[in-house]
């Protein structure tokens, strides 16, 4: 396939699709652009669902490679993950994703593990707070004071016992925190707009799975 | 023709496009300069430390997809990966890149291969060993990265991209094994966790500047300059808006609602 | 001060994490097994959330997004259950649920089993429904807001939506009087602002995990979110609606663990300054 087909046509498609969606949002041609954009969005949903299946295929490919090569310290776990993929798939297809057997399997394995790992964050945060919230200098002291107020405000009984902490934490959240977050959000949004522009004009080709010539030449 | 309530937003969007494209073109003639970013300047130090300790560098661009809303952050992380790979290749240090999203793998492979070629060490690159697709599930990915930390004990950990709840897990685990850490994300939720644990931090749009800062790519650098013009416009509007509101006139509010 | 003194402060400054974790675990387990009953204040945000739902006229459709993953269930599940208790007890409302998280349907099953709508006389398809997981996050939100029936024509069991009385007259975002989102991901919580509040001005109640609250505050301060709650406030909601559950049980744990972490922080600072003082004394 020629470079033109592989590179230019996807860029043109992205440009046209982006323009249509923006025209639908900003311009009043709903009767014309509305149905087209609805279809585009539904295609997007179908493609993202397809990506889930692609992820499963990828996992199969990678782990069968580990098994065939007997990768040290890895291949027994690869066998296990493939067994679990098969078990979940068979039960899911046979009983439906909302069937009692699938629900039991999900709750007994994935949900329990997921909640456990998520909960371990509490322990990491404890050691993080213990080590980091020390008044080594003025900035660290400020971090300590603000952190302590937030910590105590979020303890319900302390908020009842020391009511002054509620307006203090409310001020900290409303004024300095919100202001800082707004700045970060504006920066992130401008970054997204810039990436959108670069993608539409073909200067950003990461989504095509390849680097631009400039990126190839880039480095120190 | 224009939908009421979205006219100003459309005008701003078009203006930003013009600024960004204009700056990208101007950057081809003269590259804009950036202020010092301590975290990025420390990358050679991190690679040197890894070389002395004969331990690898771990790199991750976090969660997120190339087609999602956090794609700009992922792209920024990949730009830094290219630089770190070339640096590591020169120092003779292995880079382990932990991958969450399978679609990133071909780009990362090409990026790292090109970096090793530029460093003059194409044979040192082993894609299968260095680029590891771990899982598309958040906590499976997170625990796999922690496993890499415990088993391979990297001397340096670089995390640039969109991170979610796993940020604290990574930071603490790599801190515990004694790795020096650079982290950067534009996801405001996770910045505090990186801030308290990591040695170097890039906040918000600094990660977008990182790619341009390191690669000297005129497209990326011009794009950053265009974004900065957008921020200046935002600041001017905010300043005038505060004055107008204090003076009792809703002119800026009305303009924003147009 | 002696060398042993400095060593003591250094040890206190670097308490091994195993000891910290063990103490934390003990403090966590005891109130779970023997609830203490610490007081719990009901914040203005919780009251506003409650009042917003209470003010809805009969027949109002509510879009609820179960956008959280299994890891967030212990925090957001109790709040989701409490809100369902409120909605079902009030009656006359049409909670229509979808999931932008792949775990959402199974987590919804869990919450509904806990709430038991039948005890309020509520029937699936008549008084509540789940229209399934729709992939694509913001694309899904935009598509559902534009044309729900074109995006999905079945409920999460695969039955046609046309057969359910609750879905009569539901076409797009303008059919809904309220949007509620429970999520552990910023993509969902922020995405609903962009895809439903901004174009359609649907009032939006958002519940996230506690660490996401500061980042979502700008939206709430700008009026784009009516009320923003952390999942940890489930106990306050349960108290307000007078249906105690998992949330109020967790409130004791939250209080004690937060006080413990504060105590660790104080200890660390005392140890730090103690070590510095002893080093100065040795040096001086």
With pLDDT > 90 as the criterion, what percentage of chain A qualifies?
Answer: 28
Tell me how far apart the alpha carbons of residues C12 and C15 are, in angstroms, rounded to a whole number: 5
The answer to whether the CB of C40 falls within 8 A of the CB of C236 is yes
Q: How far is CA A85 from the centre of its chain?
A: 23
Same domain, A160 and A190: yes
As a whole number, the mean pLDDT across chain A is 85
Q: Inspect the interface and report whether the beta carbons of B189 and C137 lie closer than 8 Å.
A: no
Tokens 């979610």, residue located: B164
Same domain, A148 and A175: yes
Tell me how far apart the alpha carbons of residues B131 and C282 are, in angstroms, rounded to a whole number: 52
Quick one: tokens of C197? Answer: 């509040």
Which residues in chain C have Cβ-Cβ distances shorter than 8 Å to A187?
Answer: none
Contact with chain A for residue B127, Cβ under 8 A: no
| The pLDDT of residue A220 is above 50 | no
Same domain, A120 and A150: no
Cβ neighbourhood burial of C119 (10 Å; 0-12, 13-18, 19+): exposed
According to the model, what pLDDT value does residue C56 have?
97
Look at residues B12, B80, B88 and name the one whose alpha carbon lies nearest to residue B49. Answer: B88
- Strand partners of residue B159: B60, B183
Smallest Cβ–Cβ distance between A186 and the set B17, B73, B231 belongs to: B231
Tell me how far apart the alpha carbons of residues A27 and B10 are, in angstroms, rounded to a whole number: 9
Q: What are phi and psi of A85, to 5 degrees?
A: -60, -45
DSSP labels, A153-180: HTSHHHHHH-TTHHHHHHHHIIIIIHHH
Please list, in sequence order, all residues whose beta carbon lies within 8 angstroms of the beta carbon of residue B190, skipping any fewer than 6 positions away. Answer: B163, B164, B167, B168
Q: What is the DSSP letter of C35?
A: -
Q: Inspect the interface and report whether the beta carbons of B118 and A120 lie closer than 8 Å.
A: no
Question: In 10 A of CB C57, how many CB atoms?
Answer: 8
According to the model, what pLDDT value does residue B134 have?
87
For residue A158, is it within any domain? yes
User: Which residue on chain C is closest to A159 by alpha carbon?
Assistant: C41
pLDDT band at A25 (very low <50, low <70, confident <90, very high): confident
Contact with chain B for residue C137, Cβ under 8 A: yes
The answer to whether the CB of A152 falls within 8 A of the CB of C258 is yes
Tokens 């996401």, residue located: C212
Tell me how far apart the alpha carbons of residues B196 and B35 are, in angstroms, rounded to a whole number: 23
Tell me how far apart the alpha carbons of residues A20 and B92 are, in angstroms, rounded to a whole number: 49
Q: Inspect the interface and report whether the beta carbons of C71 and A52 lie closer than 8 Å.
A: no
Look at residues C215, C235, C236, C238 and name the one whose alpha carbon lies nearest to residue C225. Answer: C215
With pLDDT > 90 as the criterion, what percentage of chain B qualifies?
Answer: 62
Tell me how far apart the alpha carbons of residues B178 and B175 are, in angstroms, rounded to a whole number: 5
Quick one: tokens of B37? Answer: 């970013």
Cβ neighbourhood burial of A55 (10 Å; 0-12, 13-18, 19+): middle
Tell me how far apart the alpha carbons of residues B179 and B99 are, in angstroms, rounded to a whole number: 19
- What predicted TM-score, i.e. pTM, was given to this entire model? 0.86
Same domain, A196 and A146: yes
| The pLDDT of residue A212 is above 70 | no
Least confident of A43-47, B128-132, C193-197: A43-47
- Greatest pairwise CA separation for chain A in angstroms: 73
Q: Inspect the interface and report whether the beta carbons of C185 and B70 lie closer than 8 Å.
A: no
For residue A161, is it within any domain? yes
Residue C189 C-alpha, separation from nearest chain A C-alpha, in angstroms: 14
Least confident of A213-217, B177-181, C237-241: A213-217
With pLDDT > 70 as the criterion, what percentage of chain B qualifies?
Answer: 100
- Strand partners of residue B99: B133
User: A55-67, pLDDT tens digit by residue?
Assistant: 788 788 888 988 9
DSSP labels, B185-225: ES-TTTHHHHHHH-SEEEETTHHHHHHHHHH--HHHHHHHH
Contact with chain B for residue C16, Cβ under 8 A: no
Q: Inspect the interface and report whether the beta carbons of B164 and C211 lie closer than 8 Å.
A: no
Same domain, A157 and A187: yes
| The pLDDT of residue A216 is above 70 | no
pLDDT band at A215 (very low <50, low <70, confident <90, very high): low
- Cβ-based contacts under 8 A for chains B and C: 26
B40-76: buried (b, 16+ CB within 10 Å) or exposed (e) per residue? bebbeebbebbbeeebbbbbbbbbbbbbbbbbbbbbb
Last residue of a domain, one of A132, A153, A187: A132
Q: How far is CA C232 from the centre of its chain?
A: 7
Task: Return the higher-pLDDT residue of A35 and B91.
Answer: B91
Q: Inspect the interface and report whether the beta carbons of B66 and A206 lie closer than 8 Å.
A: yes
Mean pLDDT, range C121-144, rounded to an integer: 94
User: C26-58, pLDDT tens digit by residue?
Assistant: 999 999 898 888 999 999 999 999 999 999 999
A156-194: buried (b, 16+ CB within 10 Å) or exposed (e) per residue? bbbbeeeeebbebbeebbeeebbebbbbbbbbbbbbbbb
For residue A60, is it within any domain? no
Tokens 């290749």, residue located: B89
For residue A59, is it within any domain? no
Residue B181 C-alpha, separation from nearest chain A C-alpha, in angstroms: 15
H or E stretch at C62:
strand C61-67
Residue C20 C-alpha, separation from nearest chain A C-alpha, in angstroms: 7
pLDDT band at C253 (very low <50, low <70, confident <90, very high): very high
Contact with chain A for residue B124, Cβ under 8 A: no
Tell me how far apart the alpha carbons of residues B136 and B133 are, in angstroms, rounded to a whole number: 8
User: A57-112, pLDDT tens digit by residue?
Assistant: 878 888 898 899 998 888 999 999 999 999 999 999 998 877 889 989 988 988 88
| The pLDDT of residue A213 is above 70 | no
Q: Inspect the interface and report whether the beta carbons of A98 and C105 lie closer than 8 Å.
A: yes
Same domain, A165 and A196: yes
CA angle B126, B130, B131 (to 5 degrees): 110
Q: Inspect the interface and report whether the beta carbons of C258 and A45 lie closer than 8 Å.
A: no
Contact with chain C for residue B4, Cβ under 8 A: no
For residue A65, is it within any domain? no
| The pLDDT of residue A207 is above 70 | no
H or E stretch at B116:
helix B105-118
How many alpha carbons fall within 13 Å on the CB side of residue C200?
A: 22
pLDDT band at A198 (very low <50, low <70, confident <90, very high): confident
Tell me how far apart the alpha carbons of residues B158 and C5 are, in angstroms, rounded to a whole number: 38
- Total domains in the fold of chain A: 2
Q: Which long-range contacts (CB under 8 A, 24 or more apart) does B143-147 make?
A: B143/A117, B144/B98, B145/B58, B145/B60, B145/B98, B145/B170, B145/B173, B146/B170, B146/B173
According to the model, what pLDDT value does residue C1 have?
43
Interface of A with B in 170-199 (CB under 8 A): 181, 183-188, 190-195, 197-198
Same domain, A161 and A197: yes
Task: Return the higher-pLDDT residue of C158 and A1.
Answer: C158
Quick one: tokens of C256? Answer: 């004690």
CATH 3.40.50.720 fits B39-216, yes or no: yes
Domain ranges of chain B: 7-29+220-257, 39-216
Which residues in chain B have Cβ-Cβ distances shorter than 8 Å to C212?
Answer: 189
Q: Identify the domain containing residue A108 by its residue range.
A: 100-132
pLDDT band at A206 (very low <50, low <70, confident <90, very high): low
């Amino acid at each position: 396939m020629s470079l033109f087909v592989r590179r230019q046509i996807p860029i043109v498609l992205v440009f046209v699709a982006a323009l249509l969606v923006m025209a639908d949002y900003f311009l009043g041609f709903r009767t014309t652009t509305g149905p087209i954009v609805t279809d585009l969005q539904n295609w997007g949903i179908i493609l993202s669902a397809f990506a889930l299946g692609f992820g499963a295929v990828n996992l199969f490919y990678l782990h069968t490679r580990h098994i065939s090569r007997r990768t040290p310290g890895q291949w027994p776990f690869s066998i296990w993950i493939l067994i679990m993929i098969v078990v979940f798939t068979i039960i899911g297809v046979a009983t439906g994703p909302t069937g009692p057997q699938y629900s039991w399997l999900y709750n007994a394995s994935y949900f329990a593990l997921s909640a456990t790992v998520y909960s371990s964050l509490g322990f990491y945060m404890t050691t993080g707070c213990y080590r980091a919230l020390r008044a080594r200098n003025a900035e660290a002291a400020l971090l300590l004071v603000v952190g302590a107020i937030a910590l105590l405000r979020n303890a319900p009984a302390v908020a009842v016992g020391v009511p002054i902490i509620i307006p203090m934490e409310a001020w900290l959240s409303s004024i300095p925190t919100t202001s800082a977050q707004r700045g970060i959000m504006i920066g992130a949004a401008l970054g997204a707009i810039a990436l959108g522009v670069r993608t539409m004009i073909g200067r950003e080709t990461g989504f095509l799975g390849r680097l631009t010539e400039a990126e190839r030449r880039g480095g120190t | 023709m224009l939908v009421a309530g979205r006219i100003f937003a459309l005008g701003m969007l078009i203006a930003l496009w013009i600024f960004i494209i204009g700056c990208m073109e101007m950057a081809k003639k003269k590259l804009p300069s950036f202020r010092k970013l301590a975290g990025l300047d420390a990358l050679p130090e991190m690679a040197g430390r890894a070389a002395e300790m004969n331990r690898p560098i771990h790199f991750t661009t976090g969660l997120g997809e190339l087609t999602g809303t956090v794609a700009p952050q992922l792209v920024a992380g990949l730009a830094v990966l290219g630089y770190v790979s070339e640096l590591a290749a020169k120092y003779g240090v292995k880079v382990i890149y932990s991958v969450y999203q399978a679609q990133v793998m071909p780009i990362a492979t090409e990026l790292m291969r090109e970096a090793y070629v530029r460093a003059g060490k194409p044979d040192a690159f082993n894609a299968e060993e260095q680029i590891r697709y771990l899982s598309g599930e958040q906590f499976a990915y997170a625990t796999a990265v922690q496993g890499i930390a415990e088993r391979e004990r990297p001397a340096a950990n670089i995390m640039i991209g969109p991170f979610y709840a796993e940020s604290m897990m990574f930071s603490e685990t790599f801190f515990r094994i004694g790795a020096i850490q650079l982290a950067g994300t534009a996801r405001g939720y996770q910045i505090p966790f990186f801030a308290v644990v990591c040695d170097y931090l890039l906040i918000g749009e600094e990660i977008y500047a990182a790619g341009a800062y390191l690669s000297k790519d005129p497209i990326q650098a011009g794009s950053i300059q265009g974004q900065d013009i957008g921020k200046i416009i935002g600041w001017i509007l905010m300043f005038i808006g505060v004055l107008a509101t204090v003076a009792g006139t809703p002119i800026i509010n009305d303009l924003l609602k147009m | 001060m002696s060398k042993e003194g400095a060593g003591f402060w250094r040890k206190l400054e670097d308490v091994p994490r195993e000891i910290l974790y063990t103490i934390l675990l003990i403090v966590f387990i005891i109130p779970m097994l023997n609830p203490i009953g610490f007081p719990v204040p009901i914040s203005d945000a919780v009251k506003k959330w409650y009042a917003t739902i209470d003010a809805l006229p009969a027949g109002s459709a509510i879009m609820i997004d179960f956008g959280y993953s299994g890891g967030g269930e212990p925090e957001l599940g109790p709040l989701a259950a409490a809100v369902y208790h409120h909605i079902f007890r009030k009656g006359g409302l049409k909670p229509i649920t979808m999931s932008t998280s792949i775990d959402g349907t199974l987590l919804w099953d869990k919450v509904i089993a806990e709430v038991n709508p039948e005890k309020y006389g509520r029937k699936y398809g008549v008084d509540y429904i789940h229209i399934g997981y729709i992939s694509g996050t913001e694309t899904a939100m935009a598509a559902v807001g534009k044309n729900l029936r074109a995006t999905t024509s079945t409920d999460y069991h695969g039955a046609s939506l046309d057969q359910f009385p609750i879905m009569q007259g539901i076409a797009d975002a303008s059919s809904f009087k309220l949007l509620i989102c429970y999520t552990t991901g910023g993509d969902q919580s922020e995405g609903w602002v962009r895809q439903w509040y901004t174009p359609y001005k649907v009032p939006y109640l958002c519940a996230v995990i506690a660490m996401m609250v500061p980042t979502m505050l700008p939206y709430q301060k700008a009026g784009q979110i009516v009320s923003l709650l952390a999942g940890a406030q489930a106990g306050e909601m349960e108290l307000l609606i007078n249906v105690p559950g998992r949330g109020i049980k967790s409130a004791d744990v939250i209080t004690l663990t937060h006080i413990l972490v504060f105590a660790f922080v104080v200890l660390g600072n005392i140890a730090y300054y103690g070590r510095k003082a002893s080093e100065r004394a040795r040096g001086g």
